[in-house]
Chain A
Amino acid sequence: MATVSPECQANSIKQEVVRQHNKSQNSLTYDGQLVNDYLLISVDPFLHSRVSVIRADQYFRKHKESDLLISRKFVKILRDLENQLGSDDYLKSESFTNIRSKIEPFISYLLSLSPDNIKAEATYDNSVFFTFVKNGKKYFLEKYLNDSIGFDDIEMSLVVNDDPENTRSYGGTISQVLREFNKELGKNYLDSILSSQRI
């Protein structure tokens, strides 16, 4: 019987985990670092072996939970929007399917940033207004639903209220605004690290 080296065995299991993991993903991607983490820490205690064993059950349990949570949040956001449109006399004429098709990728993107909380509301100005909370800070994103925009128009806006003396508002194309949003989230991340170090 051919002997399989521990490294080879570990590699093949790792590949299988990555393959299954990728198969289970739709649009969300991970960088593989978590798989490596599991590989390094999981030495089988029962056999007292030095063979690295991937605790695939732990890995998948964790990631299925996180994906499930994202899916649940995703569905909840859409369900809340649908309920709002159905119960509001002024918004009843809006087609939920139409709104949904325009914001689904955007919701996926926002959820991939692991917000502490996120809410979406349709407005009377043909837009969807998102409140995104991360590390205790609120960000307000408004996605306009017009099919085409004029030269002096915007596709999206972002409002950051963390400075009581000066609210910052960004407007432009989706990519321009998301670039600013990422910069703001970067500042937020640094602030949270600095404040935790002070503690």
Chain B
Amino acid sequence: MAYPVQILPNSNYKFIDCHVGDCVLMRTTGSPSDEDIWDSDLQQIKVAQLANPRERVYDMSTNLLGVFERDHCKIHFTQTGKEKYSVSCEPDTVVENPTEIIDFLLLDTVGIIYAKIEDVAGIKVTYTSGDSKNPITYYGESFVKHTPMRWNFWHYSIDWKISIKSAGSDEYETVPQERLTTGMLKQIASAARSRLVEKFSLACDSYNILDESCYMKDPALPQQIT
């Protein structure tokens, strides 16, 4: 199968600059079976399916549904393909088409879960750790970011901005990821899991498709086929 070039970065593409709150994110799961993905008792996604495989749940990969279609979730990169294509890039990077078998395979063994961007962005968490007499308190808020990859322009990440209150003021100071302790990272991942298992679902009845002007520098130009 030829690689779907419409999902690759393109010299005429730019970072998506429209409101995307009502757009839908897709994430692949390790199993296509609804029973393996959905906990019907708890009415939520199973945790293992949300973060599979060993991956940082607080910086979660997803794809924007639209030009990137459900069938594109079957694309699975080989080790050679990952080295070449599983890399962040600028939206207008010109990329060589991946080749089937060498760079990628199509797998039927994946499932898909969906979430509206407005449901997974702006989730606020107050983290308290340690002794209740001398607690350490910090704050988190989820955000969704367009993070094009060499294999997929429509790649989005769900990430968390962590901040602390500066001493003696009401100002909040952002804590860079490298300053987060092991315990903080675990706590952030745990809170992210617990919120996201409730926000994702098995089905997506409708979704919004972005206007070309949202992601093309010049919509009048024909799409470049690399």
Contact = CB atoms under 8 A, between A and B. Distances in A.
Interface of A: 84, 88-91, 117, 119, 121-125, 127, 129, 131, 133, 138, 140, 142, 144, 149-150, 152-154, 157, 159, 161, 165-172, 176, 179-180
16 contacts: A117-B42, A122-B48, A123-B47, A123-B193, A125-B189, A127-B186, A129-B193, A131-B44, A150-B182, A153-B181, A154-B187, A159-B125, A166-B125, A169-B125, A171-B183, A172-B130
A169 B44 contact: no
B131 interface: yes
B130 A176 contact: yes
Q: How large is the interface on B (under 10, 10 to 19, 20 to 34, 35 or more residues)?
A: 35 or more
Contacts of A154: 129, 182-183, 186-187
Interface string B158-187: 000000000000000000000001111011
Contacts of A152: 181-184
Interface stretch (B4-12, B51-59, B91-99): B51-59
A129 B190 contact: yes
Interface of B: 30, 39, 41-42, 44, 46-48, 51-55, 57, 123-132, 181-184, 186-187, 189-191, 193-195, 198
Contacts of B189: 125
Contacts of B54: 90, 124-125
Contacts of A144: 186
A123 B187 contact: no
Contacts of B195: 159, 161, 167
Given A131-B42, A150-B182, A152-B181, A142 B126 contact: no
Contacts of B57: 125
Contacts of A169: 125-128, 187, 190-191
Contacts of A149: 183
